Amino acid sequence: MGLTIPEDMDDLFYFSRRAMGEGKAMAWVYRPECLECHKAKMGKPVNEKTGKAKIRAKEYVCPECQHTVPKEEFEETCQMEIAYTCPHCKKEGEAITLYKLKSFEGVKAYVFECEHCGKKLGITKKMKAPKKK
């Protein structure tokens, strides 16, 4: 597949490095280009007083043309790229999935499938462990 591993965190919308049992995963989402002007990358709105991005923004804004997109609509267009080592078959692989949380073993996670053994894997939020059966 040939994923491009990010070199600068400013280009990213999301980045995570997780241990998954005996495996591991590194996942990232690149900031998408503005659909209106195609000149800049979309981002959270910036607070005019402090110059910092708003933490819990409900929309995303283009810094060039000020085009705004609601958070839910924006996140559905993003794709997550994942480089991982499968905890089941111990092989390294790459995957691309939607940037959308799904229920996986009782916990919200970004779910993808191992390209070698076909098992479903999930990247959970920090400190969340899948429930035991």
Would you write out the chain's pLDDT as a tens digit for each of its 133 residues?
Answer: 577 788 888 888 889 898 888 889 999 998 888 888 888 888 888 887 887 888 888 888 888 888 888 888 888 888 899 999 998 888 999 999 998 888 888 888 899 999 888 889 988 877 666 666 5
- The residues, ordered by sequence, that sit 6+ positions from 18 with a Cβ below 8 Å of its Cβ are 24, 25, 26, 27, 123, 124
- Model pTM score: 0.79
**Distance between the two ends of the chain, CA-based, in angstroms?**
34
Please give the structure tokens belonging to residue 56: 């819990």
Number of Cβ within 10 Å of residue 15's Cβ equals 12
